[in-house]
Amino acid sequence: MSGPEDPLLITNVAVAVDLAIFTIREQRLQLLLIRRSLAPFRGRWALPGGFVLPGEDIDAAAERELREETGVQRDAAHLEQLATYGAPRRDPRGRVVSVAHLALVADAATPVAGTDAAESRWADVADLPHLAFDHDRIVADGLDRARAKLEYTTLATSFLPTTFTLAELRSVYEIVWGAQLDPANFRRKVLASDGFVVPAAGGPTVHGRGRPAARYEAGGATVLHPPLLRPT
């Protein structure tokens, strides 16, 4: 016989996805926010997201929200599960468990607000408003994950176009980490990491009368050996 705390007796639990979508615009790390047009928290800024539809896979729901909010297709961005948030009172409407996702995108376009949002915008991570629900915690966790993964994976290239210079790649690290890096040391470490970047087919690009800047593209590696550690 089932007891009073039998998990099978828990009913009316909804599953949602929330997306912490980061990009680099105007040399600043920015996060996509939507202003809610519906209760609860009408008028407050929040992360984009929504309920998982009947018969829909959780990852498919996250991909759908990414596409609807940014116009970015799944294969043009990095998207991964971040964590699950299920505090009993995180949503005033009832028990809602959210599977939050982290997304890193390049060349982010001006967002278009969805049907449940009054407006949407890219906001500087350094100057975010207090967000609805528990989204402040999700953003903090997403930032920690992104900063850590830049140390031991090649995900920094997710913020860049197909081809880029090493100076542009270094800028990604400096913006995300909030620290200045020595150009020569950074270049040496990047080129010493097998498969991190490879020379681009188009060759160098000449900027005005200056020295041609060699262009690179992402290599086949996903993990950095050795890692690029953040300055202490």
Q: What is the dihedral of CA 135, 140, 141, 144, to 10 degrees?
A: 160
Q: Are 215 and 200 in contact (CB under 8 A)?
A: yes
d(CA 219, CA 232): 28
Where helices occur in 28-90 by DSSP H, the ranges are 58-70
| Residue closest to 135 by CA, chosen among 72, 24, 44, 23 | 44
d(CA 24, CA 20): 13
Active site residues: 119
